[in-house]
Chain A
């Protein structure tokens, strides 16, 4: 199609202005085709595997789709019934609060720990950096199921933590039962710190040494250099990293599922676990997908805050 358009261009004998218009249009077409066609496969894949499922989710949340029963054979459109049920459901409210707590706990812990490690690792010898890096990144590389099981084995009643505490005469307890949310938050921080550490290390290496030196010459203490020079320069990296960790954390399922299955009771049932219970355990796909969309909203709200932080910074 691009070829015919360009040939038409050459044979066009119209007035000069019209000719130029057509030529511009032809060029635009050719230009569009030139990037659109090579992009085709990627676009197709994106639409089929990314936009497709999202659209399906939106559609399913407006129906009574189910895994089995008569509703599976004849799925009907039910409008906003699933969302009305969602708002009235106390389980959903509890799960949303738990998700926010989990999110805030993980993001805060991961950021503080990751940044501290990155700062401590500056100007250390190669051997120290390599050792610490390998240990921290090891946690990041371990599959989620394995990480979940490692923490389960560590915290359960006959686990390592109780064996250690036993030396000091502490009564053994199942930490996954007494402090389930704290347990999964710790496990997730342990697993995710490497990511924060790596991005902050990269960000820190971008901070020009002469600025720090200048501050030091002016008599600033190390803490003041960090607070007034380094961190402000790191703000964009911070916002981007926060955004990424939030999106990773809000969808954590495997880790929690392996460690506590959302229990005891529902005291560690975050939205992804609730979604699983409703959609797959109860077979209520329509309601489950409505929860999935609610999860999207939670993640979206947090993202908006970070993006707003970032843009505010750029305006200054």
Chain B
């Protein structure tokens, strides 16, 4: 190239232009204040939120043609869903205005400054009185600010196929009073049906993720009188007899072949396969599962199973030796929260209340297999008719427990899943796995924050 001055100037101009374009790309466009961006999860058997938000979008946009409700259905497991929402929250121009939020992560996300306080909006809302006390507790952060409105809650217990238990000679309705009675039923199913039927599913191991920790391990631990976190001393509990006994239960299941083969139990899609295939096909007899399992069987599901009511029964998970109160449960629940950078909080609140009003709350409670947190929805005839188990679930609300909502929990939960996996694969005895857990716990939360529970 011959560098005449004119040439150089031209090149400089082009370079400057390119730089400007590159800079222009990165500076993000202004958000349209009439658009409300909603992020929610849609995954596997869970399509209720998608169905709800589509309905709300239609209602809102029909009322006011200027308003757009932008739906971001994120197709991912719960953990990945939260990661994606957090990544969106990291940038003010990308952050959603409304977030389908696990109430359990409200503390962390409020600390991170991702959420908008909703006290004023909620207090001024005419429906506020209809929400239960538990609802308020679940969406209020440790410093007493409300950061969301709960859509519904859940309980966990034993789902079973009555026909398979009948054939195995177990009286139904089945009401086991101790862990041993649960195991005996599984053994009876195994004797009767052999390899054709998985007697008892208890989610275990890392691929199942939080399901293993919450539906699996903590449902057992709760029945031993043990816990993960001691509220009185605000310390995490390492091991203890209850912890080892819970692992022993998992060990018995895999050792005696009373559950899935380990390679099937460690399939990340186990939840979907259990509820969409194994139960409807009669390949599984009992499962320690959430109350929302019905969402896989109702009319709106991916693969409806209209006859489910004839086959499926629900019974509470007993405590280890039948100790008071006789049954145990764990609860979670999801809420709608508002992003801290919502372009128009009043408009976002309008969309939020539309999703939470009576009619839509009934729809969500039915399709999502939820336990309503609005008193009027819990008594709604449409809900009661579609949810034949509602009363059984309601019994558990008094005994149910919650996860410790601290930011260390996800790591502690992983340590639990690893302990379970070591036991199910026979890599460690329950005692060894409990010791490893204790070591891991110390390294996660620090030795000062651990107690041996005695």
- A residues sitting closer than 8 Å to B (CB atoms) are 2-3, 6, 30, 33-34, 37-38, 40-41, 44-45, 48, 66-73, 157, 173-174, 177-178, 261, 263-265, 280-283
Is B18 an interface residue, CB under 8 A from the partner? Answer: yes
| Cβ–Cβ contact B268 & A68, under 8 A | no
| A282 and B8 contacting across the interface, CB-CB below 8 Å | no
Q: Could you tell me which residues of chain B, from 270 to 302, have a CB within 8 Å of some CB in chain A?
A: none
| Complex alpha-carbon distance, A67 and B105, angstroms | 12
Using A261-B268, A263-B266 as known contacts, list a sample of 13 further A-B pairs with CB atoms less than 8 Å apart, ordered by residue number in A: A6-B5, A34-B1, A41-B15, A44-B18, A44-B22, A67-B87, A67-B112, A68-B86, A70-B112, A72-B114, A264-B263, A282-B411, A282-B414
* Chain B nearest Cβ from A119, distance in angstroms: 40
Residues on A with C-beta less than 8 A from B421 are: 264-265
Chain B CB within 10 Å — which of A44, A68, A177, A265 has the most?
A68
Residues from chain A with Cβ under 8 Å of B425 in the complex = 264-265
Give A265 to B112 CA distance when docked, in angstroms. 31
Contact A41 B109 (CB under 8 A): no
B169 adjacent to chain A (CB < 8 Å): no
- Which residue of chain B is the closest to A67 with respect to CB atoms? B86
Whether the pair B12, A263 counts as a contact (CB closer than 8 A) is no
B20 CB, nearest partner CB in chain A, Å: 11
* Contact across chains for A69 and B111 when beta carbons are under 8 A apart: yes
Task: Using CB atoms, name the residue of chain A closest to B207.
Answer: A263
| Interface pair A45/B111, CB less than 8 Å apart | no
Task: Tell me whether B83 and A280 are in contact (CB under 8 A).
Answer: yes
**Which size class do B's interface residues fall under?**
35 or more
Residue of B3, B89, B410, B421 contacting most chain A CB atoms (<10 Å): B3
Q: Select from chain A the residue with minimum beta-carbon distance to B421.
A: A265
Contact A73 to B111, CB < 8 A, known contacts A48-B22, A177-B263, A281-B83: yes
Q: A174-B263, A261-B207, A263-B266 are in contact. Are A41 and B3 (CB under 8 A)?
A: no
Q: How far is the CB of A58 from chain B (nearest CB, A)?
A: 19
A41 touches B1 (CB 8 A): no
| Residues of B participating in the A interface, judged by any CB pair closer than 8 Å | 1, 3, 5, 8-9, 11-12, 14-15, 18-19, 22, 79-80, 82-83, 86-87, 89-90, 105, 108-109, 111-114, 205-207, 262-264, 266, 268, 407, 410-411, 414, 418, 421-422, 425, 427
In whole angstroms, how far apart are the Cα atoms of A173 and B261 in the complex?
11
The answer to whether A38 and B11 have CB atoms under 8 Å apart is yes
Least CB distance, B366 to chain A, in whole angstroms: 32
Known contacts A157-B264, A177-B262, A283-B83; A40/B18 CB under 8 A: yes
Min CB–CB distance A227 → chain B (angstroms): 45
Q: Which of A37, A68, A173, A264 contacts B8 (CB 8 A)?
A: A37
A283 touches B113 (CB 8 A): no
Contacts of A72 in B (CB 8 A): 86, 90, 111-114
A30 to chain B: closest residue by CB: B3
Whether A41 contacts B18 by the Cβ 8 Å rule is yes
Main secondary structure on A side of the interface with B: helix
Question: For the complex, what is the distance from the CA of A263 to the CA of B268, rounded to whole Å?
Answer: 10
Chain A positions within 8 Å of B410 at CB level:
281-283
Complex-state Cα separation, A265 to B113, whole angstroms:
35
Q: How far is the CB of B28 from chain A (nearest CB, A)?
A: 15
- Supply 13 A–B pairs (Cβ within 8 Å), ascending by A: A2-B3, A33-B8, A38-B15, A41-B18, A67-B90, A68-B82, A68-B407, A73-B111, A73-B113, A265-B425, A281-B80, A282-B411, A283-B83
Nearest chain B CB to A167's CB is how many angstroms away? 22
Quote the shortest CB–CB distance from A157 to chain B (angstroms). 7
CB pair A157 B266 closer than 8 Å: no
Residue of A nearest to B414 (CB): A282
Closest-by-CB residue of A relative to B13 is: A37
Q: Residue on B with the closest CB to A278?
A: B411
Q: Which residues of B contact A69 (CB under 8 A)?
A: 108-109, 111-112, 407
A67 and B85 CA atoms in complex are apart in Å by: 10
- Complex Cα distance, B19 from A44, in Å, reads 8
User: How near does chain B come to A96, taking the closest CB pair, in angstroms?
Assistant: 19
Complex Cα spacing A278 to B266, Å: 20
Q: Bound complex: CA of A283 vs CA of B109, how far in Å?
A: 12
Say which residue of A40, A68, A177, A283 sits within 8 Å of B114 (CB atoms): A68
In contact, A281 and B114 (Cβ under 8 angstroms): no
Q: Which residue of A lies closest to B209 (CB)?
A: A281
Separation in Å of the A50 CB from the closest CB of chain B?
14
Contacts of A173 in B (CB 8 A): 263
Distance in Å: Cβ of A158 to nearest Cβ of chain B: 10
Q: Inside 8 A of A30's CB, which chain B residues have their CB? A: 3
How distant is the Cα of A67 from the Cα of B88 in the complex, in angstroms?
A: 10
User: Within the assembled complex, what's the spacing in Å between the Cα atoms of A33 and B15?
Assistant: 12
A39's nearest neighbour on chain B, judged by CB, is B15
